[in-house]
Structure 1
Amino acid sequence: MSDIKFSPIENKIKQLGPSDRARRIFHGRGGLYEGLEHICIDQFKNDILVTLFKEEESIDDLMELVSKSFCQENIFLQKRYAKEGVQPWRMRNELSHVAHWEDIQFELDFKENQNIGYFLDIENGRQYLKKNSSGKKILNLFSYTCALSVIALKNGAHEVVNVDMSKGALSKGKRNHVINDIDLTKVRFLGHDVLKSFGKLTKLGPFDGVIIDPPSNQGKSFYLEKDYPKILKRVEAMCAPGAWLMICANSPFLSTEDVKKMVQEHATGLVFVEVFHSGADFEEREKDQGLKGLIYLRA
């Protein structure tokens, strides 16, 4: 019975074939595979990550399928429903844990963390930065491990200012710049609370590009629906005329139209250009329930 249950996963693995690029192999959360909505599988070259969002009664059968499909790779399991960190299921090699994007690499951390250091879903945002970073001074809010900063600088950005409350994440972000041979005089790492740093950030501007990619809910420190308007009210003052803004939200409870209304109410000088959603690896019944990245220009 379990063979039939997991056949969509087996078929997807066979369909995709081998690859070195970081990718989502199976996106059950997209709602297209009945009974498998709680399963996601990612590949980072030598590492496979299986993430469960609720308990799976046939977990051994699922992991056996993954193990047989990826004979040489390390396999990790994360039970997000139990708020457990990433755990090794089977180790095959001691190679470094990295995500590859074109000729850039990012270090990953599979030790107990809920997030391993690289988000696959914002691929279209990475492509936007590849085309729109050259010569720009960019502010990267909620920068986490600074992957978007690395991409911007590798594609000609003049300077990037990264801001995140987690100094540990920023430390990993700095390491990502180092391993990609980026001139550190072009980048800053500020361990600040964005909501308490508007004055400082305005003084560091004006910026030609601003990335806002906050967590949906970070306990008491950030709540998307309540705190996003606070940022939008202040961000225009940080921007040079004609600057672009990448305004991201990843919540099924906040639609593209909701974000547009929020911007229209709190940042009247911004002009909507386009919206992107999760990358092609993320098959979704309702794209708007996943990542939304709205591009605006400051008038």
Structure 2
Amino acid sequence: MNKEINLSVKEEFVSNYKNGYPLISKESIVDWTKVSQEGTIVKLTDPKNNFIAKGYYGIQNKGYGWVLTAKEDEKIDADYFAKKIKTAVEYREDFYSDEETTAFRVFNGEGDGVGGLTIDYFDGFYMITWYSIGIYELKVAILDALKSSVNYRGIYQKKRFDGKGKYLDDADDFVCGERADAPIIVKENGANFAIYLDDGAMVGVFLDQKDVRKTIRDKYAKGKTVLNTFSYTGAFSIFAALGGAKKTTSVDLAKRSLPKTREQFSVNNIDADKQEIIVEDVFNYFKFAVRKKLLFDMVVLDPPSFARSKKHTFSASKDYVNLLKEAIQITNKGGVIVASTNSANFSMMTFSDFVKRAFKELNGRYKVEQTFSLPKDFRVHNKFQEGNYLKVMFIRKIG
């Protein structure tokens, strides 16, 4: 491991780190010039040079590093990471034993003790995602730890940072073991998903929405017309169709969404020709739907936190109210809007206010029937609630 460097914490941040706050922020450290190489192990000390915690230096959008331990003499090596991974695996024991779900998160960053790192499981294959050069510099120890902690068919990786030189040279997502089929078929609550482990940044499904999809299938879809916006590969549409929806309409701007969504219908033995899959800017589709007086029994809104098309820029924190207003206008009375966001920039309370504002501005009435945050496998650090980014509301339009 790299040489450890002391970093002095500003007085006003000391109590946070003593109480277990895991994110090392840019603002909390007196002098960052003392450390230059990402992946360096850093000791946080108070203004009197007393030890507080130990972590690593790695820049990502959230901050400049993560706390790993409050023990000064604990080594950050393969044994350290193996303990963390084994604890995480034990926490998810019920997922491993569930034959109806063969894809889930095994290690969720700071929620399992190592910020900047996630590990997902896909029917015997493991996918590591590195969120900074800093955590990637610790790759050898983390890989050794994973290989010693689990039985695996193969291991893959995704790099979610802008690296140069040696980081780009390691371009293949495959790491070791056997290569997966393209696609492999995994299960989620009995449904099938076609997953590509070595095909760009995404694999084909977002695992954090599993409880929401199951609820749509089991409680809301039967006999309903369903509009799935920002549909990606159509996962919500698949579960709606499996739940007996009268018809699903999936809308996404990406051209790949059409063949990918058809594929997901196919692996679930659903006739894609009886569904509607549209490659279009969602905001243009809303205007089309209003013009044609189309109404749906359920509208799913799951936009990215930020998105840009030729004519529209969407920011969840600024534009979600207007997005909701668009959806309300094409939802049948008595229908349901599934409003979702993965933005960590605002709370569920603020999200609830967005809903209230949207209905008020349209003189509408509503009832919130259910809310969801991250599922069990997406473990959240109790001192870092910002990590509980997912917010979902099932909203009944009653007038």
Give the TM-score of the pair, scaled to structure 1: 0.91
Shift of 1:99: 2.8
Contact residue 255 and residue 288 of structure 1 kept, 8 A: no
Deviations 1:262-293 (A, max 9, x none): 12112232332331111111111327741000
Alignment of 1:170-249 (within 5 A): 170-202=258-290, 203=292, 205-219=294-308, 221-249=313-341
Q: 1:180 to 1:128 in 2, by over 3 A?
A: same
**Which one of 61, 68, 78 corresponds to residue 3 of structure 1?**
78
**Which one of 258, 273, 296 corresponds to residue 350 of structure 2?**
258
Distance in 1, Cα, partners of 2:120 & 2:283: 33
Which residue of structure 2 aligns with residue 111 of structure 1? 198
Alignment of 1:1-299 (within 5 A): 1=75, 2-6=77-81, 7-14=83-90, 16-17=92-93, 18-19=96-97, 21-30=102-111, 33=113, 36-54=114-132, 55-56=134-135, 57-82=137-162, 87-95=173-181, 96-130=183-217, 131-202=219-290, 203=292, 205-219=294-308, 221-268=313-360, 269=364, 270-284=366-380, 285=382, 286=385, 289-299=388-398
Secondary structure at the aligned position of 2:201 is classed as coil
Deviations 1:139-180 (A, max 9, x none): 101000001111110111110100000120232011110121
Counterpart AA for 1:137: T
Counterpart AA for 1:214: P
Shift of 1:97: 2.0
Contact residue 327 and residue 337 of structure 2 kept, 8 A: no
Shift of 1:204: 6.4
Distance in 1, Cα, partners of 2:378 & 2:104: 9
Q: Larger C-alpha radius of gyration, 1 or 2?
A: 2
With a CA cutoff of 8 Å and minimum separation of 6, indicate the structure with the bigger relative contact order: 1
Shift of 1:182: 0.5
Contact residue 196 and residue 204 of structure 2 kept, 8 A: yes
Distance in 1, Cα, partners of 2:186 & 2:288: 33
Secondary structure at the aligned position of 1:48 is classed as strand
Shift of 1:219: 4.2
Structure 2 residue ranges without an equivalent (≥5): 1-74
Secondary structure at the aligned position of 1:283 is classed as coil
Shift of 1:244: 0.8
Secondary structure at the aligned position of 2:121 is classed as strand
Q: 1:150 to 1:126 in 2, by over 3 A?
A: same
Secondary structure at the aligned position of 1:281 is classed as coil
Distance in 1, Cα, partners of 2:392 & 2:357: 18
Distance in 2, Cα, partners of 1:67 & 1:59: 12
Q: 1:4 to 1:67 in 2, by over 3 A?
A: closer
Shift of 1:183: 2.3
Deviations 1:230-258 (A, max 9, x none): 22222222111100111001111021111
Distance in 1, Cα, partners of 2:90 & 2:332: 48
Q: 1:104 to 1:274 in 2, by over 3 A?
A: closer
Larger mean CA deviation between 222-231 and 171-180 belongs to: 222-231
Counterpart AA for 2:106: I
Between the aligned residues of both structures, percent identity stands at: 25
Contact residue 22 and residue 44 of structure 1 kept, 8 A: yes
Q: 1:93 to 1:197 in 2, by over 3 A?
A: closer
Distance in 1, Cα, partners of 2:358 & 2:395: 13
Counterpart AA for 2:126: I
Structure 1 residue ranges without an equivalent (≥5): none
Counterpart AA for 2:284: K
Which residue of structure 1 aligns with residue 29 of structure 2? none
RMSD over aligned CA atoms reads: 2.2
Counterpart AA for 1:157: A
Shift of 1:224: 1.5
Distance in 1, Cα, partners of 2:393 & 2:190: 26
Q: 1:15 to 1:228 in 2, by over 3 A?
A: closer
Give the TM-score of the pair, scaled to structure 2: 0.69
